[in-house]
Structures are given as C-alpha cells and as structure tokens.
C-alpha cells in the first residue's frame, strides 16, 4: 500500500511575458543547454526560453507550428509547421531556419531518434507519419497507421521502436518497427476517451498513456496492461521524468503530477490551478522543474517553471 503525500507546486519565478497573445502547443526542454522551447502557434513562432532564469530569449518565425523535437547532439530544434505542411530545422542560438522540407499534410507532434537521425512527424487529422532524415532534411518514407488522427508520438531509445497514440473512435496506440517502418502492433485502449498523451519509460520498458476522460494507464511495450489510475480530466500533453519517475501533465488550465511506483501503479501527488489555458508541459529533469506556457486574453501569453516540495 502506498503512503501518499501531496506536494505543493510553486512557481520558480514570476511568469515571464511572451510577445503577442495567443495559444501554444507542445513544449520541450534541452537540459544540456538550459533551454525551454514552446510552439507559440498563434504567433507562428518557436519560443526560446532560458531555463535558468525563465527569461524569453527570442521568438523564431517558422510558421504555424505545433510539434517540436530537439537534437541534443547539436542543439538544433525540429518544428512541425502545421498548416504550412513543412518540417523545419532551426538553430535556436542564432534564430536561423536552416532547412525545411515539404510534407503532404498538416503536422501535429514530432519526435526525433538520434540513432537513425530520423524525425517522425505525425499527420494532424490523418493516418500518415512522415519520416525525415534530420541530416539532409529529406523525406525518406511515409508510414500509414490505422485511424485518421494522431496525438502524441514517442521513440524508445533502446529499440528505436516508434509509438503513436490514436484517439477516438479507435482508442489505441500502435508500435512501428524502425527497420521495416511498418506498424507491427496495435494495442486497443477502451478505457480512454480521446487518447492524448503517450510516454515511454525506457528504463522499466513501459508505455504510459492517458485520455481526456481522466484515466491514465501503464502498459508493457508489448501491449499488456499493468495498471490504471484516475487523474483530472481534459489532459492534453504529459511528459515523463525518467530520473524521478514522475509524470507531469496539463489540461484545462491545471498542472498536475503523478508518481510512478515500483509496482507500475500511478498516483496523483500534486496539482495546481494556473487559471489560464495551459495544456502543455515539459520536464527539466536536471533541476526538477516542470515548464508550462499559456495565453490569457487579459494578461497575455506567459511561460513559467514550477517545482514541487512535499
């Protein structure tokens, strides 16, 4: 039996203003370079933030972006430019867009596999994943998945399998073999309504999946369900801290944390109402800071880091 201790989520600094009011999408962290990146969809820019101070460093014009991924070996950021139907490589230090490749549909989420130097960009409201060589920025393959919509996508850094979450009415996640670039496993998740977040726990060989109906489940990578937990509803993006075994989530203006225990169960341990339209988060595991962004018509757009204490 777990003894649960609710944590307090505190702001590490006053939320920093972001030029131009508007909505955000995915957030990612490059802990090696102390950078937070966010897709500021409304301003069609990549937001670059200093993770040490919370200061906004720049906004880079890349188009109506949604997803992003980081090449930690170079520091380059890959952006999925939404309805522009492109994927771009950006140097966040200079603000230069180094290269772009045209794809055949709007892009939602991205993930990057440094072993194969591949960007996997999933089609928003479609059934394709575009595979791009991150060195040449050329489209090398297109993977078709069941269903006709995508949410979160992730890569297993051990096997390099790709995992894609697929929402209603299919309610499933799929695994893709990196050698054949074919779907090799379909895992149905009837407990969810509107699958959204998906995370890989490479250390314990788990896939963690959530739905907007307030449920999160833990699966083996072969698709065996191990546990199910309740959490707040309307989750959008979650991010897994593989050092401290914590899942950070956001949705409907709230941020919360679930702890992953050794028996593969999850429990809610912290929650904070931001009161704005925050729905995306990312961990800086080095500083144990959970970063989030939001837009509010009265106060404007903001970025902030949160830390927890028991």
Q: What is the pLDDT of residues 6-40, one digit of tens each?
A: 778 999 988 999 987 788 999 999 999 999 999 99
Confidence of residue 3 (pLDDT cuts 50, 70, 90): very low
pLDDT in tens, 52-86: 999 999 999 999 999 999 999 999 999 999 899 99
Q: Which two tokens stand for residue 118?
A: 């591949």
Greatest mean pLDDT range, 127-131, 230-234, 272-276 = 127-131
Report the sign of the C-alpha dihedral through residues 49, 268, 196, 265, in that order: positive
Mean pLDDT to the nearest integer, 157-171: 97
- The count of C-alpha atoms lying within 13 angstroms of the C-alpha of 155, restricted to the half-sphere facing its C-beta, is 24
Could you state, in order of their start, the residue ranges of all structural domains in the chain?
A: 8-309
- Burial of 290 from C-beta contacts in 10 A (0-12 / 13-18 / 19+): buried
Residue 84 has φ and ψ, to the nearest 5°, of -70, -15
Are the C-beta atoms of residues 23 and 41 closer than 8 Å to each other? yes
Confidence of residue 146 (pLDDT cuts 50, 70, 90): very high
pLDDT at 299 over 80: no
pLDDT at 175: 98
CATH assignment of 8-309, among 2.60.40.420, 2.130.10.10, 2.20.25.240, 3.90.930.60:
2.130.10.10
Q: What is the pTM of this model?
A: 0.95
pLDDT at 34: 97
Q: Which two tokens stand for residue 93?
A: 């230090």
Greatest mean pLDDT range, 11-20, 132-141, 289-298 = 132-141
Cα separation, 17 vs 287, whole angstroms: 22
């Amino acid at each position: 039996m777990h003894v649960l201790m609710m944590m307090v989520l505190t702001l590490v600094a006053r939320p920093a203003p972001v030029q131009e009011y508007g909505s955000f999408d995915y957030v990612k962290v490059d802990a090696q370079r102390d950078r937070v990146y966010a897709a500021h969809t409304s301003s069609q820019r990549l937001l670059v933030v200093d993770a040490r101070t919370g200061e906004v460093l720049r906004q880079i014009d890349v188009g109506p972006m949604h997803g992003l991924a980081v090449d930690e070996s170079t520091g380059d950021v890959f952006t999925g430019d939404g309805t522009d139907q492109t994927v771009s490589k950006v140097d966040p230090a200079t603000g230069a867009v180094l290269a772009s490749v045209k794809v055949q549909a709007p892009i939602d989420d991205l993930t990057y596999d440094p072993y194969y130097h591949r960007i996997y960009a999933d089609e928003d409201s479609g059934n394709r994943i575009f595979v791009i060589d991150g060195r040449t920025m050329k489209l090398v393959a297109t993977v078709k998945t069941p269903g006709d919509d995508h949410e979160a996508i992730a890569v297993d850094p051990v096997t390099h399998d790709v995992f894609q979450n697929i929402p209603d009415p299919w309610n499933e996640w799929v695994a893709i073999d990196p050698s054949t670039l074919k779907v090799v496993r379909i895992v149905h998740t009837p407990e969810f309504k509107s699958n959204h977040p998906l995370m890989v726990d490479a250390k314990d060989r788990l896939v963690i999946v959530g739905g907007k109906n307030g449920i999160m489940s833990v699966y083996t990578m072969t698709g065996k369900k191990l546990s199910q937990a309740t959490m707040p509803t309307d989750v959008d993006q979650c991010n897994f801290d593989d050092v401290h075994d914590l899942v950070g989530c956001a949705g409907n203006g709230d941020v919360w944390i679930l702890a992953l225990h050794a028996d593969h169960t999850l429990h809610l341990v912290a929650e904070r109402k931001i009161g704005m339209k925050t729905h995306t988060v990312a961990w800086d595991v080095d500083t144990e800071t959970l970063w989030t962004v939001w837009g509010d018509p009265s106060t404007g757009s903001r970025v902030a880091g949160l830390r927890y204490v028991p």
